[in-house]
Amino acid sequence: MTEDKMDKKRGIYIHMPFCVQKCNYCAFLSFRADGSPRKDYTDALEKEIRLRADLERQNGTDKDIDTVYIGGGTPSVMDISSMSEMMRAVRRSFDIKEDAEVTLEANPATLGIKDGVTLAKLQAYKFMGVNRLSMGVQSMDNDRLHYLGRIHTAENVARDMQLIRKKGFDNVNLDLIFSVPGESGENALSDLEKILELDPEHISCYSLQIEEGTPFGDMAEAGELTEVPDEEDRETYHRICHRLADAGYEHYEISNFAKKGYRSRHNSLYWNMDEYIGLGLGASGFINGVRYKNTSDLDEYLAAIEEGRLPVAEEHRNTAFDNISEAVFTGLRRREGISYEEAVRAYLGAEASEKKDLKTADDFCDFFWEVFADARDEAREYADRGLLLIDNEGLKLTEQGIDISNSIMSLFV
């Protein structure tokens, strides 16, 4: 354990809940909205940024910010002028570190219709300090893109990627969705090849989850959708993992792959029990030992800001057990797994670990299994089946273990 890992990092997540249209699989909070609500929203967001920053300063808990992530929705559909205002507000209110990672989620075909507009928009993002772009590509097959309800084509992706590179963005993630109904493993792998041709620094591969309340969810309920069988889905997943390893991408989290030095620093906060301030509609945050979630109701959100209060809907101060439990199940998402020391420090807090006189790896190991005494036998069974690696340093999932990771993680909640 290095010193800086013990020191909690802090990021900011900003939610932009607007899209050109809602995708058939999407359960994220987003609206198909145009015109005035967007402007009302960014105005309110600026106020929330100030409210949150003031509160942190008053409490003396303000900290330099390591990462900023603007997610959605589709942040790239927002007016450049309001985005730039908002980013200015972020920088005025928070101390953003010089080398901070600033990610913007963008969807192909939303940057601009004409190349000139796209380039100008990309230039504006650069001015705002955006240094990482995450593109919702999802597929490189036009029929499948249409089926998913995406507005773009494979040609759009290639073109956008060219312009992005031209503008000098050197840290780009491309998202890929596999196991779309009707899709074979071959299809997914061929999508992956096309994505590899674009040579992104980072690739996220998600197995399609059919969520309730989405058009796909409704179709599944009506029996109009043939889901890809689990066996096939898992086979595709492992093929993807192996192909990406061959292509020089490090598999560092269940769904994330990066070239060396290009892991997502922001998303890593979530898996390291680091802190993040969530801003905007439905955003989640974790700061000063408290997990909170903003309201998901746009009117409520706007009204709260109007009244000068934070739009927090749920708030929970983590107990020591919450901390260790979250450290374990989020840590298990990382391919490197979770060390006993890291988990126990989440439980005790750094100072208390010193007081407890926990020094050696064995001390932490013993302490860890005391907390999770009930889970030990079952964890060993998973280990015997080759799904979980347990040693005297900590735990990690094997590649096969990922397939049933929820069952393993649920031992620790």
Partner 1 sequence: MSYLDNIRNFSIIAHIDHGKSTLADRLIEKTGLVEARDMKEQYLDNMDIERERGITIKLQTTRLKYKAKDGQEYILNLIDTPGHVDFNYEVSRSLAACDGAVLVVDATQGVEAQTLGNVYLALDEDLEILPVLNKMDLDSARPDDARAEIEDIIGLDASEAPEISAKTGMGIDEMLEKLIEVIPPPQGDPDGKLKALIFDSYYDSYKGVIIYTRIFDGRVKRGDTIRMMNTGKNYEVTEVGYCIPGTVPADELKAGEVGYICGSIKQVADARVGDTITLANAPAEAALKGYKKAQSMVYCGIFPAEGEKYENVKDALEKLQVNDAAFNFEPENSAALGYGYRCGFLGLLHMDVITERLAREFDLDVITTLPSVVYKVVMKDGEVLDIQNPSNLPPQALIAHIEEPIVKADIMTPNEYVGSIMSLCQNRRGNMIHMEYLTKTRVQLHYEIPLNEVIYDFFDALKSRTRGYASLDYEFLRYQPAKLVKLDILLNREPIDALSTIVPEEEAMAKGRGICEKLKEIIPRHQFEVPIQAAIGQKIIARETVRAYRKDVLAKCYGGDITRKKKLLEKQKAGKKRMRQFGSVTVPQEAFTEVLKLDDGR
- Sorted by sequence, the CB contacts under 8 Å of residue 92 that are 6+ apart come out as none
Contacts of 100 (CB under 8 A, 6+ apart): 65, 66, 67, 68, 129
* Between 122 and 397, CB nearer to partner 1: 397
Inter-residue contact 323 to 273 (CB < 8 Å): yes
3-state secondary structure of 153: coil
Q: Name the residue nearer to partner 1 (CB basis): 184 or 209.
A: 209
What is the rounded radius of gyration, in angstroms, for the C-alpha atoms of the chain?
Answer: 22
Residues 313-372 that bind partner 1 (CB under 8 A): 314, 316, 325-326, 329-330, 333
Q: Using CB under 8 A, pick the residue from 9, 10, 15, 121 that binds partner 1.
A: 15
**Shortest distance in whole angstroms from residue 360 CB to partner 1:** 30
The CA–CA distances, whole Å, from 143 to 157, 204, 271 equal 14, 21, 35
* 77 vs 122, beta carbon nearer partner 1: 77
Taking the complex as a whole, the smallest distance from the CB of residue 238 to partner 1 amounts, in Å, to 12
Q: Is there a contact between 142 and 15 (Cβ–Cβ < 8 Å)?
A: no
- Which of 75, 136, 285, 331 binds partner 1 (CB under 8 A)? It is 285
The answer to whether residue 286 forms part of the interface with partner 1 (CB under 8 A) is yes
Longest dimension (CA), the chain: 64
The site for partner 1, by CB under 8 A, has a size of 44
Q: What does the alpha-carbon distance between residue 255 and residue 247 come to, in Å, rounded to a whole number? A: 16
Q: Pick out residues in 243-272 that bind partner 1 (CB under 8 A).
A: 254-255, 269-270
**Residues in contact with 4: Cβ distance below 8 Å, sequence separation at least 6, in sequence order:** none
CB of 354 to partner 1, least distance (A): 27
Looking at 4, 98, 99, 231, which residue binds partner 1 (CB under 8 A)?
231
Between 19 and 254, whose beta carbon lies closer to partner 1?
A: 254
Instruction: Rank residues 200 and 282 by Cβ distance to partner 1 and give the closer one.
Output: 282
Nearer to partner 1, 171 or 204 (CB): 204
Residue in the block written with tokens 């020089």: 248
CB of 153 to partner 1, least distance (A): 24
User: Which residue, 130, 138, 155, is CA-closest to 205?
Assistant: 138
Q: Which of 25, 169, 216, 276 forms a contact with partner 1 (CB under 8 A)?
A: 276
Taking the complex as a whole, the smallest distance from the CB of residue 403 to partner 1 amounts, in Å, to 6
Site for partner 1 in 78-97 (CB under 8 A): none
Which residues in 193-212 contact partner 1 (CB under 8 A)?
Answer: 206-207, 209
Residue 35 falls in which region: left (phi positive, over 0), alpha (psi -120 to 50) or beta? left
Q: Is 71 in the site for partner 1 (CB under 8 A)?
A: yes
Q: How far apart are CA 295 and CA 292, in angstroms?
A: 10
Residues in the chain: 413
Task: Work out whether the CA dihedral 215, 216, 219, 220 comes out positive or negative.
Answer: negative
Among positions 369-408, residues that touch partner 1 (CB under 8 A) are: 385, 387, 402-407
Q: Which residue type, as a one-letter code, is found at position 107?
A: N
Q: Site for partner 1 (CB under 8 A): which residue of 95, 212, 230, 391? A: 230
User: Is 234:403 a contact under the CB 8 Å cutoff?
Assistant: yes
Question: CB 14 → partner 1: shortest distance, Å?
Answer: 10
Q: Is 49 in the site for partner 1 (CB under 8 A)?
A: no
Long-range pairs for 291-296 at CB < 8 Å and ≥24 separation? Answer: 291/315, 291/316, 291/318, 292/316, 294/15, 296/29
Stretch touching partner 1 by CB under 8 A, among 42-50, 92-100, 140-148, 229-237: 229-237
Note whether 283 binds partner 1 by CB under 8 A: yes
Q: Which of 191, 233, 341, 342 binds partner 1 (CB under 8 A)?
A: 233
Summarize as ranges the residues that interact with partner 1 (CB under 8 A): 13, 15, 27-28, 71, 206-207, 209, 230-231, 233-234, 254-255, 269-270, 276, 278, 282-286, 291, 293, 314, 316, 325-326, 329-330, 333, 385, 387, 402-407, 409-411, 413
